[in-house]
Chains A and B, each alone.
Chain A
Amino acid sequence: MKRLVISLIAIFAVCMSAKLHAAPVIKIDGSSTVYPITEAVAEEFQKIEKGKTKVTVGISGTGGGFKKFCSGETDISDASRPIKPSEVDLCKKNSIEYIELPVAYDGLAVMINPKNNWVDYLTVKELKKMWEPAAQGKITKWNQIRANWPDKEMHLFGAGVDSGTFDYFTEAINGKGGASRGDFTASEDDNVLVQGIATDTLALGFFGVAYYEHNKDRLKLVPIDDENDTNGKGPILPEYENVVKGTYQPLARPIFIYVNKKSADKPEVKRFVEFYMKEGDKLSKEVGYIALPDKAYTLGLSRFEKRLAGSVFGGHGATVGVKIEDLLQKEGK
């Protein structure tokens, strides 16, 4: 009995001391598209901090992330599109101010199964025909898109409705953020989509190009033609050059992190964001994204240091056709 009491006291003491010395936790949630970068930054950061700080990164999608961010549950939100009006209102209601920092550029890739030998390219119009709300239940076969394609069912996969990728894709292709057919496999988890397309010869889907980089042998990229020769002629692949030059339009976009202004005053969050801006360039390349020019990170850092709150996109949500130079200009103001 005595021994039991002593051991209980010992356990209690250990627990207490652990609690006293518990490392501060930086809570991050949001877009699964931004996740690979943030996770890479978080890993490096935790190595440097040597256990002093913990970072948790979730993937609820941009929308899901903002819901948590604007109710004060998280310090930083990953976003694959700028904040949108309903989220601006929610943040305002809970008096949460945010600093918007672009972290990289991403091509939104349209993908098919490697065994699919009929799709050589797609135009934006064809994509619209596939994905617009009116297509629901009607456009179900490949030969409805182009007559010489097979008379076989088309299996569509796409980012979930809570994701910024979905908002951006529908805005860019269908002309209205969130407007889409509903009869496709929708998931916030891009790995589910990779699995779906990689195992289905009749599949087509879209998600951030970084997930393609990690599954090159299981997926095939589709070049996209926006039929606007002023930004590159013919079908274009989401390759580095094309995204940087702004010819892979309309499916290239900047991605962001949003930092809670109050959290920014916590020393560990400050250190994390500074580290992010410093290493973002290298790490975003490493995980398959297109890094922004150095200037963008310096501008971001200075915005952060000045604690400039708000979005340079005016809180309108997904904004199509923002090229890197436009972004720099906006950030520089």
Chain B
Amino acid sequence: MSYRGFQKIKEWFIEKALFLSALFSVFITIGILSVLIFETLEFFKVVSIVDFLTDTQWTPLFSEKHFGILPLFAGTFVTTIIAMAVSLPVGVITAIYLSEYASNKVRIFIKPILEILAAVPTVVYGYFALLFVTPLLQKLIPDMSGFNSLAPGIVMGIMIIPIIASLSEDAMHAVPMSLREGALALGATRFQVALKVVLPAALSGIAASFILGISRAVGETMIVAIAAGQQPRLTLNPLVPIETVTAYIVQVSLGDTPTGTIEYSTIFAAGMSLFAVTFVLNIVSYWLKKRFREEYE
């Protein structure tokens, strides 16, 4: 065989190997999705989808069974709202500072620290919420339960700050210098430039980071499993024990629920609903990011 022919075969193999690697994640996604869908269908053979979406009680492990997902989503909703209420303002303000005010020295110092925040294992955040933040809050609100959605929500917000800050900063950084220069030339202050020119111009990027943050909060497991309690409850009160969708899945996966039972199928139905929510959020975020790219390229 000629040297050329050998090279060609080698190239062919390399290309196929690369292609297979890329395909791998696609297959995995399809695999996970089909398991989820298959098990969820099994679940809906027994429980009607109307009950699943409208019943206000979730007690599949007890002798009197109810399969309303609403209490679990209420838990997820409350913790997510609290997390976003913390991470959005702090994240965006941090981004404004880093992009518009900070000198290079400060930036080099602060950015890695922000990234460390993202590298803290979530189990550590969980215990931080349970054993530090909750007792602290109880000094202000004596009637607050040891398990509640407020403390894990706040801690989750802290965890999400780096995501929002770093993505928003990227978006602000991408705003053309000429826009800032124009505004400054018209006599605007630095603050006015940041708030009235850069922020609106980067809004789609910030919105994308916000939505990515939400989907991170919705899917977060360890913090809420440790610190929010294990009691599905249809409430918006952040001071009482609740259970999120993810924490429920953990609870059942850790217990000894036999495979093939309806109790076991519930985690797939819950997982599927969760997947649907984060999937939609990710699509919205992707769409927003694309819009934002088109504007300046």
B229 at the interface (CB under 8 A from A): yes
Complex: how many Å from CA A153 to CA B239? 11
Q: Which residues of A contact B135 (CB under 8 A)?
A: 199
Instruction: Tell me the residues in window 114-152 of chain A with beta carbons closer than 8 Å to chain B beta carbons.
Output: 133, 136-137, 152
Which of A63, A67, A178, A200 lies in contact with B146, CB distance below 8 A?
A200
Task: Evaluate contact between A200 and B147: CB separation under 8 angstroms.
Answer: yes
Render B212-243 as a binary contact track against A, CB cut-off 8 A, 1 for contact: 00000000000000000111110000001100
From A68, A182, A192, B64 is in contact (CB under 8 Å) with A182
Name which of B63, B138, B232, B240 has the most chain A CB atoms within 10 A of its CB: B63
Whether the pair B63, A201 counts as a contact (CB closer than 8 A) is no
Please name all residues of chain A whose beta carbon is closer than 8 Å to the beta carbon of B146 when the two chains form the complex.
195-200, 203
Determine the chain B residues whose CB is within 8 A of the CB of A102 once the complex forms: none
Report yes or no: B59 in contact with A202, Cβ–Cβ below 8 A. no
Residue from A60, A137, A202 within 8 A of B145 (CB atoms): A202
Contacts known (A153-B240, A155-B241, A195-B130); A61 close to B256, Cβ less than 8 A:
yes
Q: Is the CB of A196 within 8 A of B256?
A: no
B142 contact set on A, CB distance < 8 A: 201
- B136-168 residues with Cβ-Cβ distance < 8 A to A are 138, 142-147
B130 nearest CB neighbor, chain A only: A195
Give the complex CA separation of A197 and B229 in angstroms.
11
Instruction: Identify A160's interface contact among B63, B143, B255, CB under 8 A.
Output: B255
Per the CB 8 Å criterion, the residue count for chain A at the interface is: 37
A107 to B196, CA, bound (A): 68
Q: Are A183 and B231 in contact (CB under 8 A)?
A: yes
Contact B64 A155 (CB under 8 A): no
In angstroms, Cα B141 to Cα A199, docked, is: 12
Question: Which residues from chain B contact A152 at a C-beta distance below 8 Å?
Answer: 143
Q: Does A188 count as interface, using CB distance less than 8 angstroms?
A: yes
B64 to chain A: closest residue by CB: A133
Q: A203 to chain B: which residues have CB within 8 Å?
A: 145-146
A-contact 0/1 string along B16-37, CB 8 Å cutoff: 0000000000000000000000
A187 to B225, CA, bound (A): 12
B180 interface residue (CB < 8 Å to A):
no
Residues in A whose Cβ lies below 8 Å from that of B229? 185, 196
Does A257 lie at the interface of the complex (its beta carbon under 8 Å from any beta carbon of B)? no
Let me know if B173 is at the binding interface, CB within 8 A. no
User: In the complex, what distance in Å separates the CA atom of A213 from the CA atom of B229?
Assistant: 23
Q: Tell whether B62 is near chain A: CB-to-CB under 8 Å.
A: yes
Q: Please measure, in the bound complex, the distance between the C-alpha atom of A161 and the C-alpha atom of B230, giving whole angstroms.
A: 13
The residue of chain B having its C-beta at the shortest distance from the C-beta of A90 within the complex is B258
Q: If the complex has contacts A136-B57, A198-B146, A201-B142, are A162 and B256 also in contact, measured as CB distance less than 8 A?
A: yes
B138's nearest neighbour on chain A, judged by CB, is: A199
Residue A240 is within 8 A (CB to CB) of chain B in the complex: no
Q: Kindly state whether residue B66 has any CB partner on chain A within 8 Å.
A: yes
Query: Is residue B134 contacting chain A, with contact meaning CB distance below 8 A?
Result: yes
Other contacts beyond A160-B255, A182-B57: 9, CB < 8 A:
A63-B256, A64-B256, A137-B57, A161-B61, A178-B63, A180-B62, A183-B232, A199-B135, A199-B145
The 5 lowest CB-CB distance pairs between A and B, nearest first, are A199-B146, A182-B59, A64-B256, A182-B62, A200-B145
Name 12 interchain pairs, CB-CB below 8 A, sorted by A. Answer: A63-B256, A136-B59, A155-B240, A162-B255, A178-B62, A179-B63, A181-B62, A182-B57, A186-B61, A187-B230, A199-B134, A201-B143
